[in-house]
Amino acid sequence: MPRLITSSAPQPARGWRLPRANPLQLLPLEWLLLPPVAEALQLPQQGLAGPEPLPWWAAGWYADGLRRRLLALRRNPRSQSLRPLLPGLVTQLRQRVGEGADTRPPVLVAIPSWKGRANPLPPLLAAVLSQQLGWPQRRLLERSRPVLGQHRLGRDLRWQNQRGAFKCVQPPTTAQRRAVLLDDILTTGATACAAAAALREGGWQVLGMACVGRTPAASGHRPGWGSPVI
């Protein structure tokens, strides 16, 4: 008679049930929160844009909820958390940069940080936008010298601090000559303009700068949501 093989593992007591997995625990929480993020932060559906100090495109104003979100992202940079902030910026870039006589996509260039502990958001922004837009990203810039932290500097000192702080490390090619700079925040534009100057000296055509947050003017004036002023 065949011998019945039984497991030596302990059996659950009668009436005891295995805990059921919570379906919400099986899904990325950020995925469930994607739709309301932009609305909750009052980000304009069409993004923001402006012409000075160089053409720029942004997801929203660097204030209130968006400011807190970006500060948290610097501490814990994750593409899943950055992606929900960018629909308006992606729309701006497609409309303002992606359409035109030159159908070749521009190169996305993250502005490098000078600090030993680099800001992780510009390269993360480049990676996410490259994936969403299908545009290439390249490391075209390096810091040529250290600079002071910009946070406590006034407008004029910011421009002096960044002048000549970048160098272009790759020349353009016949197929790729256009570039879009990327940073998480645009304030006075001193850093962006210094980076743009280095790229132009290297032969690149700089179309402008894309950022997540644009610091509102000191006067508090803000153009209307989704109403680009370029």
The model's pLDDT over 151-171, given as tens digits with 9 standing for 90+, comes to: 555 555 564 555 657 899 999
Q: In tens digits, what is the pLDDT along the chain, a chain of 230 residues?
A: 555 545 455 554 455 454 454 544 444 444 444 446 777 888 999 999 999 999 999 999 999 999 999 999 999 999 999 999 999 999 999 998 866 667 789 999 999 987 656 889 999 999 999 999 999 999 999 886 665 455 555 555 564 555 657 899 999 998 899 999 999 999 888 889 999 999 999 999 999 999 999 999 754 444 433 333 33
Token pair belonging to 227: 């109403």
Question: What domains does the chain contain, in order, with CATH numbers?
Answer: 53-214 (3.40.50)
**Are the beta carbons of 66 and 59 closer than 8 angstroms?**
yes
Q: Which of 186, 187, 185, 141 is nearest to 167 (CA)?
A: 141
pTM of the model: 0.74
Locate all alpha helices (DSSP H) within the chain, ordered by sequence: 29-40, 64-75, 79-82, 87-93, 121-133, 155-162, 190-201
Q: How far apart are CA 174 and CA 45, in angstroms?
A: 35
Residues 6 or more apart whose CB falls under 8 angstroms from that of 91 comprise 45, 46, 47
Q: Which two tokens stand for residue 57?
A: 């495109």
Strands 141-143, 48-50: pairing is: unpaired
